[in-house]
Amino acid sequence: MECEVNFTAKSMRLRYKLLSIENEHYLIDSDQPIWVMFIPFAYWLMPHTVYKVSDQEVLEQIKSPTVKQEKASFISILGIGMTVLLSRLLESLTSYLDINTNPIVTLMIFLISATLLISLRIYIGKINQRNLYKVVNPESLQKRRLWIRPQDIRHIFVYIIAYFLVLLFLSVAVYAYFESKNIMLLIYALVFLFIILLANILTMIPGITEVKFKKDKG
């Protein structure tokens, strides 16, 4: 059946979308299950829990909340900056100790930086979740299960091309970093990694798409 996908308020937009289906409104979580951040294509292949929003006042709050919301954009910029700063600090330390040619040290710098960036992405999702919970607890709402499809062939084509292009840039940057141990290449790799971690958000874009509700057992 036909479904209209809409953004929620900016304070929760990176995680939640609003689905309008036959004059009913549902909230869907883009970050669940959490592993879709690493395999975003799976979002189109599995059923998802949606939460029915019947209260008009709650619906308006989700679209544009009046309660004070936590900001994720500043935190994300600060987090990326701290990750880069730590990477630079680690590289300076290894240079000072004259062990920067050690592949193990290079690998550790990359793994620590990547782990911090992944933690930042998860934390941004948590901020979005807290902002939603200030308006409504989705667990108190009626739940249904559905499959959501890409909007059209063009959406799939553009998404796949863009995703694998960024993945290619990430792979090249990581390889070049391990070869040259240049901090700028590590920074490029972290930027591409962060884009990859946000890719699941774009599996649903505003517009009309198709959904199919999962039949209740029994």
145 alpha-carbon distance from chain centroid: 21
**pTM (predicted TM-score):** 0.80
User: In this structure, is residue 163 part of a structural domain?
Assistant: yes
Report the 10 Å Cβ neighbour count for 200. Answer: 25
Using the predicted structure, report yes or no on whether residue 4 has a pLDDT greater than 90.
yes
| Structure confidence by residue, pLDDT tens digits, 9-33 | 888 888 999 999 999 999 999 998 8
More confident: 216 or 39:
39
How far is 144 from 148, CA to CA, in rounded Å? 12
Q: What tokens appear for 83 in the block?
A: 């990750």
Per the domain annotation, does 13 fall within a domain?
yes
Query: Which DSSP string do the residues of the chain spell out, in sequence order?
Result: -EEEEEE--GGGTTTEEEEEETTEEEEEETT-SGGGGT-GGGGGTS-EEEEE---HHHHHHHHS--S----SHHHHHHHHHHHHHHHHHHHHHHHHTT-TT-HHHHHHHHHHHHHHHHHHHHHHHHHHHHHHHTT--GGGSEEEEEEE--S-HHHHHHHHHHHHHHHHHHHHHHHHHHHH--HHHHHHHHHHHHHHHTGGGGGS-SEEEEEEEPPPP-
Where in the sequence is the domain holding 32, given as residue range(s)?
2-213
Residue 68 located in a structural domain? yes
Q: Which pLDDT score, from 0 to 100, does residue 13 have?
A: 86
Q: Is 130 inside a domain boundary?
A: yes
What span, in angstroms and rounded, lies between the C-alpha atoms of 182 and 109? Answer: 12
Strand partners, 209: 3
Is residue 129, in this structure, part of any structural domain at all? yes
How many domains does the chain divide into?
A: 1
95-142 pLDDT per residue, tens = 544 445 578 878 888 898 898 889 889 888 998 999 999 999 999 999
- What Å distances lie between residue 218 and 63, 81, 215, CA to CA? 35, 52, 9
Residue 25 lies in a domain: yes
Report, as an integer, the average pLDDT of 71-92: 56
Pick from 46-55, 61-70, 123-132, 154-163: least confident: 61-70
Is the residue at 218 inside a domain? no
Kindly state the average pLDDT of the residues 84-103: 56
* pLDDT at res. 71: 60
- Kindly state the average pLDDT of the residues 74-92: 56
- The encoded tokens of residue 118 equal 């992944």
Q: How confident is the model over 131-185, as pLDDT tens digits?
A: 999 999 999 999 999 999 998 889 999 999 999 999 999 999 999 989 888 777 8
Nearest to 138 by CA among 52, 216, 59, 63: 52
